A and B are shown apart, each in its own frame.
Chain A
Amino acid sequence: MKQTFISIGNTLIPYLVAITASFLAAGLFIGMMGFDVLKAYETILLSSFRSPGAFAQTLVKFVPLLLQALAFTIPLAAGKFNIGGEGQLIVGAIGAAGVGIVFANLPIYLLLPLVIIAGVVFGALWAAFPAWLLYRFGINEILTTVLLNFVSFSLIDYIATEIWRDPAAGHPTTVPIGAGGELPLLMERTNLHAGFIIAVLIAVLVYIYTNHTSAGYELIATGANARASRAYGINVRSLFLLSLILGGGVAGLSGAIEVAGVHHRLIEGLQSNFLLLGLIIGLIAKGNHFGVPFVAFFIAVLEIGASSMQRTMSIPGEMVFIVEALILLFILLSDLVRKK
């Protein structure tokens, strides 16, 4: 018991130090620019907890961040870097919106599952291409997944301006999906939707898969040393393929949830900067699937704080993004200190 307590402490201390150091650095900069530092801190950290609505908003933000992080960390367990979560999200959203629009009249018990499944399948297919290139030709997945993000930007632009365009909207946007494709709300008078439950469920399943099953062990062994894993009977190439497709499916799910839970339509730019935040979350959590949801929640709090700060204090939200990147940098540095 005591042992566990110490080991949790040992894990948390570097995080607290990293967060403090990043905030100090950002505070110094904010102060130099002539803003009120303490008020900025307060806004960043506490905005999420000021009202039930703000808290619900945080949880809504938490959903795509968590899923994008998982889309990155599942392949990461096998040593593969999926930097294509953005494209997989967009294509997943396209699939979900397409089903939601085409079958708009289906009842909720049919349409909603179809919308969600379409998102997963489309996201997985978008990841399957780089995964196949890796499997078949041994092409590094990092560049192919990144480049496909740029392709997806064009794709969503085409769909939202040419195929299912909503003529009333100024921004490239499609017509809404059928009402049966919308995720139900969990709390009245907030926009917290049932996608939150799906995301948490996925996180739990991923944790069990990677940490408690033989199949998940193979994933981790492959990530630790693919060549040795192969020498001991693990089919590493198939695992690369599988892990990237799973990651793509989870990213596609995040796209479907954005469509079904938040926008109820396809909007260009709905991917926000979820990919980058997902990468930061996954790296801060060091790929540990127990830690990912907690880090994702923390980053969601910061992001809600960032928009509030930009609104009320006119400090650009990028400030918080840099804080998040600095936290990552300090976490990486703390590993070094511990090794010494």
Chain B
Amino acid sequence: MDQFDSFIGFARLILLALVPYVLASQGTMLSGRTGVFNVAQEGIMLLGASVGFLVALYTKSLLIGIVAAAVAGGIIGLALAYFSSTLKMDQFVIGLALFFIGLGASSLAFKLVVGVTLQLPRVPTLSNLRIPLLGDIPILGEILFNQNALVYFSVLISIALYYYLYQTSWGLELRAVGENPKSADSLGVNVVLMQYATTIIGSALIGVAGAYLPMVYTGVFTQGITQGRGWLAIALTFFGGWRPQLILLGAFFFAIVEVLSLRAQIVGSAIPYQFLRTLPYITTIFVMIYAFRWTRVPAFLGLNYDREKRSLS
């Protein structure tokens, strides 16, 4: 497999594997920064994968499929925002419930639409988009500027989120909501609106992260296609300290581990492939030992703000 052996092929694969982690983790970070802790990633990604795949299959357009996955994710996000921001329900339990629903719905939709077949339907995988001029740079051009559109998108969205959160006064307000919503509220910031916006957009990103898997990796949808990437994205969010720029950096680590594990499985080694397959999960657990020590989470993460609640005063 020269993809694995040549440096260029290896580096390209890392960027390819980066995308679902970046998108799902930035989506988690975004709503977390207004205090809404999303734990439904795995369900949202599965739903995004299923819906995105099916829509792409029937419209013959990957773009429409991706948009559909974003909408499906956004709908779960809307539900999460409604239950937590408006109804003040326990975010973790609601997140689990939405995880169940996303999981069930992804598989139900596939079975209802496709039915039981021996020959799984396929969609063409997302093609590469060569950036003019930059794509012609030797080596770097091939690695960085001849990738599919979602690779560019995931890097650009990370940069945009960094700029928005830390360099604009809107970002200041957004961060304030996650740190002390009562303070933000008392200064006229619309806390509920912020939470809805970030949760819906964040979940839409997570939905796209799910759709990426059948559209780039496999071309088919299978049950449990995410293989825990939703949970890994939560770990990455902590690893990246809930900051978009560090999440992007941390995603490289997750992507490298994944590619290395794949490479070893394909090339073959003395270690049974079953154990190589566990590499991403094991390394993540050890990464967390380190991440939980220094990570500063948004102070109001996972808590619901209720303007009229008296007992907190």
* Given contacts A150-B278, A276-B103, A143 and B288 within 8 Å (CB-CB): yes
Chain B interface: which of A41-49, A238-246, A314-322? A314-322
B270 contacts the other chain (Cβ, under 8 Å)? no
Question: What does the 1/0 interface line of B215-251 toward A look like (CB < 8 Å)?
Answer: 0000000000001100110110000000000000000
A182 to chain B, nearest CB (A): 28
A329 to B282 CA separation, bound complex (whole angstroms) = 33
Chain B minimum-CB-distance residue to A154: B274
Tell whether, in the assembled complex, residue A158 and residue B275 are in contact, meaning their CB atoms are under 8 Å apart: yes
Q: Which residues of A are found within 8 Å of B138, using beta-carbon distances? A: none
Q: Which residues of A are found within 8 Å of B83, using beta-carbon distances? A: 332
Q: Which residues of A are found within 8 Å of B160, using beta-carbon distances? A: none
Q: Which residues of B are found within 8 Å of A336, using beta-carbon distances? A: 87-89
A142 to B112 CA separation, bound complex (whole angstroms) = 33
Chain A minimum-CB-distance residue to B102: A325
A151 to B88 CA separation, bound complex (whole angstroms) = 35
Residue from B87, B112, B278, B293 whose CB has the most chain A CB atoms within 10 Å: B278
A-B interface pairs (CB < 8 A), number:
107
Tell whether, in the assembled complex, residue B107 and residue A162 are in contact, meaning their CB atoms are under 8 Å apart: no
In chain A, positions 157-206 with a C-beta closer than 8 Å to chain B are: 157-158, 161-162
Tell whether, in the assembled complex, residue A316 and residue B87 are in contact, meaning their CB atoms are under 8 Å apart: no
Tell whether, in the assembled complex, residue A322 and residue B108 are in contact, meaning their CB atoms are under 8 Å apart: yes
Tell whether, in the assembled complex, residue A322 and residue B234 are in contact, meaning their CB atoms are under 8 Å apart: no
B133 contacts the other chain (Cβ, under 8 Å)? no
Q: Which residues of A are found within 8 Å of B274, using beta-carbon distances? A: 154-155, 157-158, 161-162
A325 to B43 CA separation, bound complex (whole angstroms) = 12
Question: What does the 1/0 interface line of B84-114 toward A look like (CB < 8 Å)?
Answer: 0001111011101100110111011001100
Tell whether, in the assembled complex, residue B93 and residue A318 are in contact, meaning their CB atoms are under 8 Å apart: no
B194 to chain A, nearest CB (A): 22
* Given contacts A322-B108, A336-B89, A147 and B292 within 8 Å (CB-CB): no
A139 contacts the other chain (Cβ, under 8 Å)? yes
B156 contacts the other chain (Cβ, under 8 Å)? no
B3 to chain A, nearest CB (A): 23
Contact of A133 among B93, B112, B282, B289 (CB under 8 A): B289
Question: What does the 1/0 interface line of B293-311 toward A look like (CB < 8 Å)?
Answer: 1000000000000000000
Tell whether, in the assembled complex, residue A81 and residue B92 are in contact, meaning their CB atoms are under 8 Å apart: yes
Chain A minimum-CB-distance residue to B100: A325
Tell whether, in the assembled complex, residue A325 and residue B101 are in contact, meaning their CB atoms are under 8 Å apart: yes
A150 to B283 CA separation, bound complex (whole angstroms) = 13
Contact of A147 among B108, B111, B284, B293 (CB under 8 A): B284
Q: Which residues of B are found within 8 Å of A146, using beta-carbon distances? A: 228, 231
Interface residues on A, range: 35 or more
Tell whether, in the assembled complex, residue B93 and residue A332 are in contact, meaning their CB atoms are under 8 Å apart: yes
A75 to B146 CA separation, bound complex (whole angstroms) = 49
B170 to chain A, nearest CB (A): 30
Chain B minimum-CB-distance residue to A144: B285
* Given contacts A322-B105, A325-B100, A326-B101, A147 and B94 within 8 Å (CB-CB): no
Q: Which residues of B are found within 8 Å of A154, using beta-carbon distances? A: 274-275, 277-278
Residue from A147, A148, A154 whose CB has the most chain B CB atoms within 10 Å: A147
In chain B, positions 30-88 with a C-beta closer than 8 Å to chain A are: 39, 83, 87-88
What are 13 A-B contacts with C-beta separation under 8 Å? Answer: A133-B288, A143-B235, A144-B288, A147-B231, A161-B274, A318-B107, A322-B100, A322-B108, A324-B100, A325-B100, A325-B104, A328-B97, A328-B100
Q: Which 5 A-B pairs have the closest CB atoms?
A: A318-B108, A325-B100, A154-B274, A158-B274, A316-B111
Interface residues of B (CB under 8 A from A): 39, 83, 87-90, 92-94, 96-97, 100-101, 103-105, 107-108, 111-112, 227-228, 231-232, 234-235, 272, 274-275, 277-278, 281-282, 284-285, 288-289, 292-293
